[in-house]
């Protein structure tokens, strides 16, 4: 938990520093500000965003949000899944067969229409 808070705080600080450095660069353009200031500002901004994202999506937070379901490796559930999969496969085969028949009917009707003309 301390790591998450530290990353979030450090990310916010880096973002603020990056915005401030880019502001200083934009203000100092007419006086010949160094381009390294802008590069450093972009590095700070990118680091701040990365730290904020990583603290928001930490493993601890993700694990605590879970509902605690465990994977059931029971043989009965495997056989039921296999049976369900076989049923879906057979339904899909029937659907593909009907689609092919419909395409053949379309082709034959188009051929008959062309033959009559």
pLDDT class for 60, splitting at 50, 70, 90? low
Residue with the two structure tokens 């082709």: 107
Contact 71, 52 (CB under 8 A): no
Long-range CB pairs of 41-47, under 8 A, 24+ apart, other chains included: 41/17, 42/18, 43/18, 44/14, 44/15, 44/17, 44/18, 45/14, 45/15, 45/18, 45/19, 46/18, 47/11, 47/14, 47/18
Give this prediction's pTM: 0.49
* Spans of all domains in the chain: 2-65, 70-117
Residues 14/48, Cβ–Cβ less than 8 Å: yes
If one compares 80 and 95, the residue with the highest pLDDT of the two is 95
């Amino acid at each position: 938990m301390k790591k998450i808070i530290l990353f979030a705080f450090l990310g916010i600080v880096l973002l603020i520093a990056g915005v401030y450095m880019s502001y200083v660069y934009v203000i100092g353009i007419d006086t010949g500000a160094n381009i390294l200031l802008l590069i450093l500002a972009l590095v700070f901004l990118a680091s701040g965003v990365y730290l904020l994202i990583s603290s928001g999506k930490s493993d601890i937070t993700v694990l605590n949000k879970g509902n605690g379901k465990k994977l059931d490796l029971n043989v009965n559930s495997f056989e039921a899944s296999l049976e369900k999969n076989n049923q879906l496969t057979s339904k899909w085969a029937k659907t593909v067969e009907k689609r092919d028949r419909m395409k053949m009917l379309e082709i034959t009707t188009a051929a008959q229409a062309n033959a009559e003309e």
